[in-house]
Amino acid sequence: MKLQIIALTVFCALPLLAQKFTGLALTPPMGWNSWNKFGCDVNEELIKDTADAMVASGLLDAGYQYVVIDDCWHGERDSLGFIQADPERFPSGMRALADYIHAKGLKFGIYSDAGWKTCAGRPGSRGYEFQDARQYARWGVDYLKYDWCNTEHLNARGAYLTMRDALYAAGRPIVFSLCEWGNNQPWLWGRNIGHLWRISGDIGVVFDGEIKHDGWSSWGVLQIIDMRQNIRQYAGPDHWNDPDMMEVGNGMSVNQDRAHFSMWCMLAAPLMAGNDLSDMTQETVDILTNREAIAVDQDSLGIQALNHSSQDSVDVWFKPLAHGDWAVCFLNRDVVAKAINFVWADHQVVDDVADRKVTFADENYSIRDLWAKKAVGTTDKPFSAQLPGHDVIMLRLRPMN
């Protein structure tokens, strides 16, 4: 009898099993990350200016929340092994910076790496996962991007599971972004570990093409869209496919920026701006804050679009939305304009992921153009338009009944 009592006591003393914090990303996270525009040139003045600009530009009101410092913020570890911020770049310290960002109504994000060193050669988290998680919690971190450089012979699922458990043990709810580049198919195992996972290598400031570096490549918008069209079933509330931060405002044309942003919204992608928020054209602001396009991305169903058809370099994408609505995006992959004449009655859309079907010959929908911001008829008549090169027409369909 004593043995049974002792065994029961030991069992009851075991800690609760670690898990990821749930409910933090029921819609795709929205925010800003420093890497695409600034690389290693980060400091506390830049981050404060960005937080100020996120509020002043209207991005906060449009739904953007996270201000994320990517690589190169790191200093050395102290005598106990706790990571410190670079004292020259961040002289006030990370807790003070987090307090500044939180006071603006925003959330604070940070970066680390599963390897010994980050991609830029700063101290990584390997062997220090639980200490780093405790430090992030002390600093008031709300979002962690966790990279995959210098991880020779590590098991990806195991490495990310370790940091997930460390974050949970630290006790502060933190959105966990798995930046593993899709090499180990994180969509198959990431749902119970992180809130989003990268599905490709880094994006580049190019709409259609590949930028080759020493031993690796960054990819154009179209290349990333094409890489993973067969994994939409793995995304949903609290677990998102991530095609990388956005390049809107970093040098592509307005048409290309609009198409890039629209397709990220159609793909239910995290919307992480990657430009200089303190120096934006009005066109860039208008793209990033288009609330009707953002509403497609943030739709409560959390279902990615499907590629319904492709003809003469024009893709037609359909995304099921809540309350019986659909989003439709015509994407012109060519550099020359294309004439669109879409006869709705000739099309049926079947989405097995959403368990939704629409037969336009039998159902009528009102049509709203989300960039022109106006009603453009109903589906009982063909939709005709001229679509410029590397641009989109993005529509929202609403049942007439």
Catalytic residues: 147, 202
One DSSP character per residue, 160-196 reads HHHHHHHHHHHTS--EEEE--TTTT-GGGT-TTT-SE
Instruction: Indicate the burial class of 232 (C-beta count within 10 angstroms; 0-12, 13-18, 19 or more).
Output: buried
Beta strands 175-178 and 143-147: pairing type?
parallel
Closest of 320, 257, 315 to residue 285, by C-alpha: 257
Q: Please name the residues in contact with 10: beta carbons below 8 A apart, sequence gap of 6 or more.
A: none
Q: What are phi and psi of 122, to 5 degrees?
A: -85, 170
CA–CA separation, 368 vs 370, rounded Å?
A: 6
CA–CA separation, 245 vs 200, rounded Å?
A: 11
Ranges of beta strands (E only) in 185-301 are 196-198, 210-212, 217-219, 240-242, 271-273
CA–CA separation, 366 vs 380, rounded Å?
A: 9
